[in-house]
Amino acid sequence: MPPCIDVYVWVPDWELATLTAFIDRYVDVADPCDDRLSAFTRVYAGGVPGDADRAALADLRRDPSDEGVSLYVRSPAYYGAIITVTRERVLVLGVSLDDPDGSAEVLAQAGEVLTTLREEFRAPAGCAGVELAPAHSRQEWEGDALVQIRVGTLPARQP
């Protein structure tokens, strides 16, 4: 697999329409390359989830005690799309840009995609980096040393 630049936005105040809009625009729903998309949609996008759906998503956790879930799927416009629900129930939405040569042009494109995603999903913050894993918590978001582009700030923590 060639190196990718992963671009993410932090979406704290999301509704079902937010997740649905991301899936509709950035995910190849006809061939997502991960059968768990339908389970993910039922659990997080307003479907009627069953025990089998929750069990299928358990495999998406980094470890059994981690409440964060990330789903990597195919995208019609980018190398891939990533949908994460963090431990705090925040959405981290992302896309991967193919960057086999580590080019400055792709890094610049990542900045443009970051701006677009922030505007589209009213995200207060975004970041990008090579082979950057999605944050599963606020702490991971704030402390990731692999971030090459960071814009905006996270909202204050809720009491």
The string of pLDDT tens digits covering residues 75-98 is 999 999 999 999 999 999 999 999
Q: Cα(130)–Cα(147) distance, rounded to whole angstroms? A: 8
Within a domain: 158: no
Number of domains in the chain: 1
Within a domain: 32: yes
Within a domain: 157: no
Res 63: pLDDT: 72
Q: Cα(93)–Cα(84) distance, rounded to whole angstroms? A: 6
Q: Give per-residue pLDDT as tens, 96-154.
A: 999 988 889 999 999 999 999 999 999 999 999 999 999 999 999 998 788 999 999 99
The whole domain housing 52 covers: 4-152
Prediction pTM value? 0.92
Higher per-residue pLDDT: 118 or 159: 118
